[in-house]
């Protein structure tokens, strides 16, 4: 049985936010909620890296463990989904999630929480047949159509990978091997190597 996972290659992400836009358009995500976002560290400095973050569909999801009403559950494919009809908006899942995936719209004044919303890996909601009401609550069910989440398909640099965790790990492993094949394998650039050889010849 496949275990669905996301992986974002920080060396390829160019912070274009195509994944964020694709997610919002495909799933009709309401204003004020982002199921996916791009986080950048060391912005504008050497070593800048960007990564696309959403629900990572953890194998042992902490949000499932803390939910007092069993709103959140895991499918056979390892996709972590939620039932909005059961959610009481307590926010425990938000504080338990290390990725900040659960989102809560402001339902009223003073920040009172509405029903939790998060990435569904484009697998829809708890009902197998995606009705209009289900689509409004959870978005598209692309997995049922044999498709990957649209955020990964729209990534122009293929930084965001989605699908069977074993296959994604193999793809990333091959990328790492190829990156280590050149002069920069251990952080040495060609100029550094040339200077080292010149210093050795002088001695």
**Tens digits of per-residue pLDDT, 67-83?**
999 999 999 999 999 99
Per-residue pLDDT, 135:
81
- Encode pLDDT of 108-131 as tens digits: 555 567 889 999 999 988 886 667
The per-residue pLDDT for range 18-65, each reduced to its tens digit, is 999 999 999 888 777 889 999 999 888 888 899 999 999 999 999 999
Cα 36 to chain centroid, rounded: 6
Task: Answer whether residue 191 shows pLDDT above 70.
Answer: no
Helices (H) and strands (E) in the chain, counts: 7, 6
Token readout for 105 is: 């719209």
pTM: 0.79
160-164 vs 72-74, strand pairing mode:
unpaired
Q: Out of 101-110, 158-167, 180-189, which region has the weakest mean confidence (pLDDT)?
A: 180-189
Cα–Cα dist 78/156, whole Å: 26
Does domain 4-202 fall into CATH 3.30.70.20?
Answer: yes
Residue (of 102, 101, 147, 140) closest to 122 by Cα position? 140
């Amino acid at each position: 049985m496949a275990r669905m996972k996301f992986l974002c290659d920080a060396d390829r992400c160019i912070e274009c936010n195509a994944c964020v836009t694709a997610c919002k358009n495909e799933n009709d995500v309401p204003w004020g909620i982002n199921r996916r976002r791009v986080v950048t560290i060391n912005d504008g400095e050497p070593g800048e890296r960007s990564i696309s973050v959403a629900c990572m569909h953890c194998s042992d999801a902490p949000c499932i463990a803390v939910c007092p009403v069993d709103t959140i559950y895991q499918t056979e494919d390892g996709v972590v989904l939620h039932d909005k009809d059961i959610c009481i908006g307590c926010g425990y899942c938000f504080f338990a999630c290390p990725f900040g995936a659960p989102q809560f719209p402001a339902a009223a004044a003073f920040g009172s929480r509405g029903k939790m919303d998060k990435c569904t890996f484009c697998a829809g909601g708890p009902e197998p047949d995606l009705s209009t009401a289900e689509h409004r609550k959870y978005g598209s069910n692309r997995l049922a159509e044999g498709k990957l989440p649209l955020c990964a398909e729209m990534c122009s640099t293929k930084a965001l990978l989605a699908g069977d965790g074993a296959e994604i790990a193999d793809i990333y492993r091959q990328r790492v091997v190829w990156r280590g094949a050149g002069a920069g394998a251990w952080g040495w650039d060609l100029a550094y190597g040339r200077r080292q050889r010149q210093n050795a010849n002088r001695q």
